[in-house]
Amino acid sequence: MAEEKDAAQVDETTEAVQEVIETKESAPAQDPQEFLESFDWEKYEQGIERVDDSKLEEFEKLVTENFVDTADEEVVEGTVVYLTDREAIIDINAKSEGVISLNEFRYNPNLKVGDKVEVLIDIREDKSGQLVLSHRKARTIMAWDRINGAHDKEEIVSGFVKCRTKGGMIVDVFGIEAFLPGSQIDVKPIRDYDQYVGKTMEFKVVKINHEFKNVVVSHKALIEADIEEQKKEIISQLEKGQVLEGVVKNITSYGVFIDLGGVDGLVHITDLSWSRINHPNEVVELDQKLNVVILDFDENKSRIQLGLKQLEKHPWDALSDDIKIGDKVKGKVVVIADYGAFIEVVEGVEGLIHVSEMSWSTHLRSAQDFVKVGDEVEAVVLTLDREDRKMSLGIKQLTPDPWTDITTKYPVGSKHKGIIRNFTNFGVFVELEEGIDGLIYISDLSWTKKIKHPSEFVNVGDTIEVEVLELDVEGRKLSLGHKQTTENPWDKYEQEFAVDTVHKAALTEIVDKGAVIEFNDDITAFVPQRHMEKEDGKKLGKGEEVEFKIIEFNKDFKRVVASHTAIFREEEQRNVKAAKKRAATTNEEAKTTLGDANEQLQALKDKMEAEKKK
């Protein structure tokens, strides 16, 4: 067909030229001088016959009207004249038809002969002389013009949702891939994006980035205007206490968002049910229709607080009048805290069992030591306030109070065995039986050992023998002792390690102000630094075994002080005393002898003076 058209066009051109020649032959003879002046020697040399300028102009006009200029980057409209399995033959009114692969028309599976399509000259003439066109390139060029126009004029465009992508969808708009964010698909959150793939939808062009050739479209923007009008109407009619029908739009850990027809409200988790729930999905599900009541809203009515449980009668109002203080009730543990556990007696009605009401023991523990969530327990009603909707319960009241006959079971001076339950810095708590705890002060653990912390002496869980030292029935307190269950070794050590007694031992430990020695498992003595000096003037070293003298023994404070230096210093002192005594005796004798001599001299002097007077 292309060859037939080319032949026809050539015939038309030939006829036009022939007409010009015939006109020339019938014209009158030209003046020789005029002919020479107007003769075109260049055309003559090239063998080109002169054609009248007016005819040439007419020929050029004819070509312009009948043939398309196949300049690059120019989009023209063509007509589909033939379809094969792979290609479409397009007539653009040029010398020959053009060819376009059907792959470029995948978006339009209904393409048929006679359809008008936009094309771009891709190759003017391939190796076989065929005109190659591109519909895809033409669509792209025209698409940007259309998209820019639609954006500027805020027009609605149609697009084909091709596939999902991260954060949204890819949409074909006029042959350009545009991005549809997930938040712009609808006014409500979309959970299944795949339901939109393969659909043709209307969009609004909301953003164009010319530098990166990015286009963002929105379907949500088309319906927001209508919804906004509905929203204003709904908001203007809102009143507290009003009951509305809504649809569950979104479920979070803290509550449920309800679509009231363009206006969203929040039902907090505490307003979903009178009973305690761990998550809102225990009560509602997505897209569920339900009635809610308006509890409150802000001045602009942009934040609407809704309630679901308020549509039902409060469980406390339906609580049976038969329940009273002292009654036994059964319930399920719904919440546990350190201070106690909440028991749901009937749906929506809870009572608190304080940890102090879980056991008769005065040594309080965590509620988790007694119950866990989900347990079915029996308890006694201790307090009941229907107006304030509060109830306190107790478990220990189900068993007799062990302190009732405490003086009979645990009199002062009686000995028992108990289990160590806990430590403090000042002592040990011992459980004699469930509900009966006693305290052993750290000073009553051992007669001889100096204990800084109870963990040095016993471990939690150990069984220990105790003696009741004090009993406070009103205060429910027991004072216990462990050392009192054995004889006080200090009574016998008071004689064995009396002051000035000498014992042999080795230095166990060197400390800042002296050293420590252990005479046996019970008696540990302190040696001051000045009492560590040996006879040769050197100091005792760790592990060195020598004799020590007891210089202090205090049974009440369990204090023993010993000295090695005193061993040889005492002998020195005895020698010094003896020497002083001998010296004193010698001096006395010397004084006596000298006195006698003096008396004799004085007598002689007196005799001589008497003789002179004579």
In a domain, 412, yes or no: yes
Residues 417 and 389 in one domain: no
- Measure the CA–CA gap between 180 and 33, rounded to whole angstroms: 80
Q: Domain count of the chain? A: 4
Residues 416 and 478 in one domain: yes
Residues 393 and 433 in one domain: no
Task: Please say whether the beta carbons of 430 and 464 come within 8 A.
Answer: yes
pLDDT of residue 5: 44
pLDDT of residue 274: 84
Q: Tokens 């459980």 belong to which residue?
A: 431
Task: Please say whether the beta carbons of 17 and 10 come within 8 A.
Answer: no
Residues 366 and 411 in one domain: no
Residues 253 and 289 in one domain: yes
pLDDT of residue 479: 93
In a domain, 168, yes or no: yes
In a domain, 414, yes or no: yes
In a domain, 384, yes or no: yes
Residues 411 and 383 in one domain: no
Residue 528 parent element (H or E): strand 524-528
Residues 300 and 342 in one domain: no
- CA distances in angstroms from 441 to 283, 392, 485, 524, listed in the order given: 55, 35, 14, 22
In a domain, 509, yes or no: no
In a domain, 415, yes or no: yes
pLDDT of residue 588: 61
**Which CATH number belongs to the domain containing residue 197 in this structure?**
2.40.50.140
pLDDT of residue 158: 84
Task: Please say whether the beta carbons of 178 and 215 come within 8 A.
Answer: yes
Residue (of 163, 128, 159) closest to 146 by Cα position? 159
pLDDT of residue 561: 92
Task: Tell me whether strands 131-134 and 87-91 are parallel, antiparallel or unpaired.
Answer: unpaired
Give per-residue burial for 335-365: e unless 16+ CB within 10 Å, then b. Answer: ebeeebbbbbbeebbbbbbbbebbbbbbeee
In a domain, 37, yes or no: no
Helix (H, G, I), strand (E, B) or coil at 322: coil
Phi/psi for 349 (5° steps) reads -115, 120
pTM over 0.85: no
Residues 411 and 481 in one domain: yes
Environment class of residue 241 by beta-carbon count within 10 Å: exposed (0-12), middle (13-18) or buried (19+)? Answer: exposed
Phi/psi for 126 (5° steps) reads -85, -165
In a domain, 320, yes or no: no
Q: Please say which residue of 485, 517, 538 terminates a domain.
A: 485
Task: Give the number of other CB atoms < 10 A from CB of residue 307.
Answer: 19
pLDDT of residue 27: 45
Give per-residue burial for 49-59: e unless 16+ CB within 10 Å, then b. Answer: eebeeebeeeb
Q: Please say which residue of 398, 428, 453 terminates a domain.
A: 398
Q: Please say which residue of 398, 415, 446 terminates a domain.
A: 398
User: What averages of pLDDT result for each successive group of 10 residues across the chain (614 residues)?
Assistant: 43 43 46 57 53 56 49 74 88 81 82 86 65 79 81 84 88 85 79 84 85 84 74 78 90 90 86 87 90 84 85 82 88 89 88 89 76 91 88 90 87 92 90 87 86 90 92 88 86 83 89 88 86 86 89 84 85 61 61 62 71 62
Bridge partners of 306? Answer: 267, 294
pLDDT of residue 54: 60
Residues 181 and 244 in one domain: no
Angle at alpha carbon of residue 383, lines to 377 and 389, rounded to 5° = 90
pLDDT of residue 224: 74
Residues 338 and 384 in one domain: yes
Residues 392 and 418 in one domain: no
Task: Please say whether the beta carbons of 566 and 560 come within 8 A.
Answer: no
What number of CA atoms fall less than 13 Å from residue 550's CA on the CB side? 21
Q: What would the two tokens of residue 225 be?
A: 């205007």
Domain that holds residue 420: 406-485
CA 355 to chain centre: 30
- Measure the CA–CA gap between 532 and 569, rounded to whole angstroms: 12
Longest dimension (CA), the chain: 225
Residues 363 and 430 in one domain: no
pLDDT of residue 255: 92
pLDDT of residue 259: 87
